[in-house]
A and B are shown apart, each in its own frame.
Chain A
Amino acid sequence: MPLTWRFLDTIEALVAALWPARWRGATGWAFLMPALLLVGVLVIGLGYMLEYSLHELNLATYRLRDEYALTNYATFLNRPVYGTVLWRTVLGSVLVTGITLLLAFPYAYVLVRTRVPWVRKALLVTLFLPFFIGQVVRAYGWLIVLGREGLVNSLLTGLGLPAQDLLFHFPAVIFGLVQYMLPFAILLIVPAITAIPEDMERASESLGAPWPATFRHVVLPMAWPGLIGAGVVVFTLTMTDFAMPEILGGGTTDFFASAIYDSFFQISNPGLGAALSMVLVTLGSLIVAAVFALAGPGTLGIRGART
């Protein structure tokens, strides 16, 4: 018998001794345990968060009072600044999601469909390169490129044009976030396009549809679950993003995560921070749930009913 056979047979015998056949039904659950534990820990953390959010800060001791109160939620509702920041966060997330999907789809489409090997390689390398550079480093990179004395402005002044304020406002934050989210969105859309056989597009063409019609009636509907999935991921990541608004917004265009951070670490009010976190988690969950309800259960292609 070849050595590899004997080796594999030994492993099989060991497994059979340690994990008898009658336990086989539980194998799947055993592999699922770590993931379930992780989710469980998160749920417990969320429970603690909820508990914190229901206690007011005692300004004399800087500790949370023992009795339950809705003061923190009242603070959120009474201070217009939180409403403004939350609205800015949601609006920003919607914008970033829309722009990212718009840019990611053609990139993913060309990546999947191109027949030229070097184009595919170039697109793949460009896709993965940003993952090697963390978000904070990238944000600082944009500071250098877009700053008052930065690359873009020195080009502009070199051409005799006036220097522009490219940083520390809403569009700069949106730009940075789109740039950050793009690779995630592409990675999620690529499988959706790969799943569309090229003959579907050819069939549509032979049936009389020029490419724009083929795109609208065949490619888009078939890629829809992947687009929804990518949209949900980008939306939730943006909703909770901290670094980009902080650095590229320069404190002028905080997102909600900054407000939470400030509550915890600037004004040392964990109760308020927890309450704001609960607001963000609830709002995000509601929006995602609404999207899934509208897009149907087949979203992400999990149901596999599409053949």
Chain B
Amino acid sequence: MAAPAAVRPDFLKRGERSDMKLRVTVFPKACVLDPQGKAIERALGGLGFSGVGEVRTGKVMIVETAETDAARAKAAGEEMARKLLANTVIESFTVEIV
């Protein structure tokens, strides 16, 4: 399928081992209803956990990269997030180097 190829950065060569990883965290924006979070919130209350506030659900993706420069790796990760990993209409994202 074409999508992964389209976001494969130039510096990644097939089979190359990577030491650096990007952790891309994607969450629904605050203005977007998160019904899964709401359901979990209620379930935690039902289990007797007191003091549980709002629960938000999202997703975390780990992307290996052969890039050795952290700033360039982060910039590439942000580009990946804008183009594919997040839908910025409804989601916000953060990219960290791990």
Task: Say whether A and B bind each other.
Answer: no
